[in-house]
Amino acid sequence: MWRVDPSGPGMTEEEFRLLRDLVHAHCGLWFRDDSRYLLERRLGPRVQALGLKDFSAYHRHLRFDPGREAELDEATDVLTTNETYFYREPNQLRTFSRDILPALACARARERRLRILSAGCATGEEVYTVAMLVREAGLFDGWDVDIVGCDISRRCVAHARAGAYGEHAFRNPEVEPLRRWFQLRGGKWVVDDAVRRSVRFHRENLLDPGALATVPGVDVVFCRNVMIYFDLAARRRVLRRFHERLRPGGWLLLGHSESLLNVTADFEIVHLESDLVYRRPATLPAGEGT
């Protein structure tokens, strides 16, 4: 087990609660009472890098130091889990290709504009998968297509922009037909330049008051296996933001282990051939908006 000082104590219960609450207030991540070792192991190197003697000093640094915002970003970066790969949750992606994209091609035919957001995009595999599926659909040639990925981790956003991946990112065999959108360079699979130009990435804290201000009028939001790390209050705040950004009739795609039951009634469940997804209602409920 890592220790700031091998001869001294590790993270105390009080230090754990102070740091946990601070991180939660910053970005919504919530750590259970049995997560003290995880915080100690991941934040310990930050304590060492700053030359601090213990986690209490680190907490004071995060509260009062002039560089606290930058260090909060560093702390968040090391505490977030960024497990992803190409063509993850294939049933949902088939639903996206076979049902949602054709529906949007009809609904948006007059304006010929498509907006897709991947919130909590990690290292970008989901964004590029979506961009490739949109291209292969053949329904949006000549359209104004904007596919945006955002994540709180600066490291992940930089990785996503680079668009270069090892073989492990292709561990789902269903991604193989998409290999044609990559080139092997220096032992890495690099996303085709045309696909890379069709997407953009930026850092975003979904709990910031101004989050997602640059992506209004979205047709589809992917936010898969992100809110499982949030408590109920943070989930509701993020879902309200998605509801505001989605166009009426816009689609919300969550991870298969995630449900909006007892979280919000702002979205309706839609039963499609291969999956259940959520959608912002196309019209206001009776009595609202009058």
Boundaries of every domain in the chain: 13-79, 90-279
Which stretch of 176-180, 225-229, 267-271 has the lowest confidence by average pLDDT?
A: 225-229
Instruction: Read off the pLDDT band of 274 (50, 70, 90).
Output: confident
Residue 159's closest CA among 193, 205, 116, 121?
A: 121
Which residues does 48 contact at the CB level (< 8 Å), separation at least 6? 4
CB atoms within 10 A of CB 11: 24
Instruction: Give the model's pLDDT for residue 289.
Output: 43
pLDDT the model gives residue 242: 96
Q: Could you tell me the two tokens for 3?
A: 């220790």
Residue 9: predicted pLDDT: 52
Q: What is the pLDDT of residue 1?
A: 43
Is the pLDDT at 27 greater than 60? The verdict is yes
Is there a shared CATH topology between the 13-79 domain and the 90-279 domain?
no
- Alpha helices per DSSP H over the chain: 13-27, 36-49, 55-64, 68-79, 90-95, 101-107, 125-137, 154-162, 193-197, 232-245
pLDDT of 214: 85
Pairing mode, if any, of strands 218-223 and 113-119?
A: parallel
Please give the mean pLDDT across all residues of the chain.
90
Q: Which residues contact 150 (CB under 8 A, 6 or more apart)?
A: 117, 118, 119, 120, 121, 157, 201, 202, 203, 204, 206, 212, 215
- The reported pLDDT for the residue numbered 118 is 98
Distance from C-alpha of 199 to C-alpha of 177, rounded to nearest angstrom: 20
Residue 38 has pLDDT above 70, yes or no: yes
pLDDT for residue 83: 72
Query: Across residues 258-269, what is the average pLDDT?
Result: 93
Over 50: is that where the pLDDT of 288 sits?
no
**Partners of 270 in beta bridges:** 277
Percentage above 70 pLDDT, the chain: 94
Query: 197: number of CA atoms within 13 Å, CB side?
Result: 4
Which single residue is written with the structure tokens 């009426």? 248
Nearest to 211 by CA among 172, 238, 173, 179: 238
Average pLDDT score over residue span 244-262: 94
Residue 49, pLDDT score: 92
CATH code linked to domain 13-79:
1.10.155.10
Q: What is the structure's pLDDT at 263? A: 93
Question: Is the Cβ–Cβ distance between 124 and 130 less than 8 Å?
Answer: no
pLDDT for 227 beyond 60: yes
Provide CB contacts within 8 A for 242, sequence distance 6+.
119, 221, 223, 252
Region 63-73: mean pLDDT is: 91
Q: pLDDT by residue (tens digit) across 87-132?
A: 999 999 999 999 999 999 999 999 999 999 999 999 999 999 999 9
pLDDT of residue 175: 93
Phi first, then psi, for residue 19 (nearest 5°) are -70, -40
pLDDT tens across 185-218, in order? 999 999 999 999 999 999 999 988 889 988 889 9
Q: What are phi and psi of 257, to 5 degrees?
A: -90, 0
Q: Which two tokens stand for residue 242?
A: 């998605």
Within 10 angstroms of residue 201's Cβ, the number of other Cβ atoms is: 24
Mean per-residue pLDDT, 27-46: 90
Mean pLDDT value across residues 176-188 = 94
State which fold the 90-279 domain adopts: Rossmann fold (3.40.50)
Q: What percent of the chain has pLDDT over 90?
A: 73
